[in-house]
Every structure is written in structure tokens, then in C-alpha cells.
Amino acid sequence: GAVVSQHPSRVICKSGTSVKIECRSLDFQATTMFWYRQFPKQSLMLMATSNEGSKATYEQGVEKDKFLINHASLTLSTLTVTSAHPEDSSFYICSAREGGRGPVGYTFGSGTRLTVV
């Protein structure tokens, strides 16, 4: 089955620094990738949608200059949290969509637990 690899699984960074999270589709080409944020005991909130080779589309309320998304190839998307602050601490999850497979074509990474101290 389709596999999405997300790294790192956990990261602790100092306030003011930047952190990069990678999302790779290992055995398929992802026409679209999505980034979600999840706070404890809450649902997944869509942050942005990225298509290979074009700018990401951000959801309302998500700062595009703070959460930089790069989708340079059909198998890799990165999310960079710039100038991180403690309130950015959260669980970040990526999803990659393989076209032509309907709902089954959305595969999720295992998530990244970001803690900003």
C-alpha cells in the first residue's frame, strides 16, 4: 500500500529558531500534499494545500510567512516553522494524495510532535 514518511517524528527547538518537517511519498507520486495541525484532544485542522511546482494555498488564519511550504517534487513536501514560539507547539501531520484513487488515495504521515521551549 501507499506509504508516506514524515520526519522528524519529534523535535524540540528553542524559541526564535526555525524547524523543517519533511513529508515524502515513498511508493507513489503525490499530485497534492496537505499539512494539518492537531492540538491535544482536538481534530485535525487543515493548514495548507500544496501542489508540486506551485505556491501553496493557505487556509484562513494561517500565516504563510510563518509556515513556509515547499513542494519541489512529486514525492516531497516540506513545512518550515519559522521563528517558532511556544504557541506553535503542536502535532503536525502531512497527507499525500495519489490521483485517481478516490478517498483511499489520501495517505497520512505519522506526524511530527513539535515542542518549542
Partner 1 sequence: GESVGLHLPTLSVQEGDNSIINCAYSNSASDYFIWYKQESGKGPQFIIDIRSNMDKRQGQRVTVLLNKTVKHLSLQIAATQPGDSAVYFCAEIVFSARQLTFGSGTQLTVLP
**Residues at the site binding partner 1, with contacts judged by CB under 8 A:** 4, 6, 32, 34, 36, 39, 41-46, 49, 91, 93, 95, 97, 102-104, 106-111, 113
| Nearer residue to partner 1 within complex by CB, 22 or 82 | 22
CA distance 85 to 115: 9
Least distance in Å: CB of 24 to partner 1?
13
| Nearer residue to partner 1 within complex by CB, 51 or 82 | 51
Least distance in Å: CB of 12 to partner 1?
15
Cα angle, residue 107 at apex, residues 1 and 84 outer, rounded to 5°: 140
49 φ, ψ to 5°? -120, 130
Q: Are strands 57-58 and 106-108 parallel, antiparallel or unpaired?
A: unpaired
